[in-house]
Structure formats: C-alpha cells, structure tokens
C-alpha cells in the first residue's frame, strides 16, 4: 500500500522490470490517475485504486485479453462486496456497472515489445467504493457514476476489496492461460450489459448504432447494423436511453 502516487499504472510499469512475480500496487491517494483515451480518473477518499504489475507471456494482442480477466474478477469481487441484491453487469470494453451506473473501470497499459525481455503489463483498476465522482464532468450520454456505499450501504475498505479481487483475478487468469479465451469469452458474455439490445459505438468522429451481438475471439465487439455484421476492436459505447 502506497500512501500517495501519481498513478498506480505508472508505478506498476516502473516496477515491472524488477519484480520477481506479479504484484498488486495499491494507493490511498492517486494524484494523476488515468482512464481510457487519456482521460483523468478522479479518486475521492476511500475509493479503490490499484494495478497489477506483471510480465505475462504472449503478444500485445494476447495481453489485451487481460481486460476481460479483470472485468470478470471485478464482477466476482463486487458481487461478494455488494451482496445478492446488487445488479451487476460488464459494459464493453472496460467498465463494470452496479444497478445501471458505472462503479468500476479498467485500464491496461504496457511497455516493451516482447522477446526475451517480455512485455511489462499494468492492469489498472479503479472502484468507487465510498463515493462517486461528480457526474457534471461527464460527456453527454455517458453512464452516470455510482458507488458501492451509495447503492448498497455496504462499507468496504480498499484493503478488504483487494482481498476479494486478487484471488478472483488469479483464478480467471489461470483459466485464460490454461484453457484459452473461449471460456473467458463465454463467462464474460453471460455478464454483459445490453447484450442483444441496440447500442451506439463511436469510432473517432463516426458513430454506428445496431444490435450488440457479442464479442469475437479477439474480444472485438460484434455490432449488427443495417449494413451488416461488423467487428469493432475499439470504440466508445453508449446505451439507448429507453432500453
């Protein structure tokens, strides 16, 4: 546990080269947390911010599948922390929802090109345990943030949450490394938000709306539009408000 750090992902990448085994790095205060596409990640006091520093085997494409491992581990840990009445779902590509609001996010970052040195991987995870960030800063149509405490009344410390998350992550990671992506994909789809419903994908300056059919063997989103079936490897996803 670090009292303060710029970013747990940045610290994980700094330490990955010297660590002998995968290691969780957690902090109480993150001064320059990052989300996808360079956005900031705001961390009110009492929330969870940690990164797994590792050098797993595989190509960059292989390592991208760890985002699905992280999502499944988060879903499992949150189910234990929130109780049986909480409604949890995974939003492609990197969020976990609680009662329809965003409670957690995932950010994968890496350095290196493989080979003998391997690729240093940071699996960053942020969870709104105690408080949700101000929704006023969100872009239009973004999923509103929520917290575990606000939605369930359960007080969970970052240390308690890591005790739930770390073994869950290890179990799902072992399944990926021994059985491949297929069982991970099936488990992820069983927990996917808005599967079979209409969603909108924003890719750069363009948008496409269609039926969310699932994910393919690389983790790309499958969207069925009037033009046909399309695999989308990266996009921002928005839900239809009346769905």
pLDDT of res. 18: 83
- Lookup result for tokens 């410390």: 157
pLDDT for 136 beyond 80? no
Residue in the structure block whose two tokens are 């049986």: 84
Count of C-beta atoms within a 10 Å radius of residue 68:
23
Q: Which residue has the higher pLDDT, 104 or 39?
A: 104
> Residue 34 pLDDT more than 70?
no
Q: What is the per-residue pLDDT for 126?
A: 95
Two structure tokens written together for 147: 């917290």
Lowest pLDDT segment from 32-46, 76-90, 94-108: 32-46
Q: Who wins on pLDDT, 116 or 79?
A: 79
How confident is the model at residue 19, as a pLDDT? 83
Q: What percent of the chain has pLDDT over 70?
A: 91
State residue 242's pLDDT score: 43
Distance CA 200, CA 236 (A): 8
Q: What is residue 137's predicted lDDT score, i.e. its pLDDT?
A: 67
Buried b (16+ CB within 10 A) or exposed e, 187-226: bbeebbbbbeebbbbeeeeeebebbbbbbeeebbbbbeee
Which listed CATH number (3.40.50.1370, 2.40.50.100, 3.30.70.3340, 3.30.930.10) goes with 8-190? Answer: 3.30.930.10
Write down the pLDDT at residue 35: 61
Give the distance from CA 127 to its chain's centroid: 10
At 243, the pLDDT band (50, 70, 90 cuts) reads: very low
| Architecture field, domain 198-239 | Roll (2.30)
Domain ranges of the chain: 8-190, 198-239
């Amino acid at each position: 546990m670090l009292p303060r750090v710029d970013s747990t992902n940045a610290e994980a990448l700094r330490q990955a080269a010297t660590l002998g085994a995968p290691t969780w790095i957690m902090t109480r205060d993150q001064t320059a947390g990052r989300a996808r596409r360079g956005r900031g990640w705001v961390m009110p006091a009492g929330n969870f911010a940690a990164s797994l520093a590792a050098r797993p085997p595989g190509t960059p494409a292989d390592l991208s599948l760890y985002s699905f491992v992280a999502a499944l581990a988060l879903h499992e840990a949150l189910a234990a922390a929130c109780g049986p009445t909480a409604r949890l779902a995974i939003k492609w590509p990197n969020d976990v929802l609680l009662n329809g609001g965003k409670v957690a996010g995932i950010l994968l970052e890496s350095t290196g090109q493989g080979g003998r040195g391997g690729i240093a991987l940071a699996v960053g995870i942020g969870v709104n345990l105690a408080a949700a960030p101000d929704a006023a800063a969100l872009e239009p149509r973004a999923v509103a943030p929520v917290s575990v405490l606000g939605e369930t009344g359960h007080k969970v410390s970052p240390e308690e949450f890591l005790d739930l998350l770390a073994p869950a992550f290890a179990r799902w990671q072992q399944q990926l490394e021994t059985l491949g992506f297929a069982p991970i994909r099936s488990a992820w789809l069983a927990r996917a938000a808005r599967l079979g419903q209409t969603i909108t994908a924003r890719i750069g300056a363009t948008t496409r709306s269609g039926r969310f059919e699932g994910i393919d063997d690389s983790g790309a989103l499958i969207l069925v539009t009037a033009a046909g079936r399309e695999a989308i490897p990266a996009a921002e996803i928005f839900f239809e408000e009346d769905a």
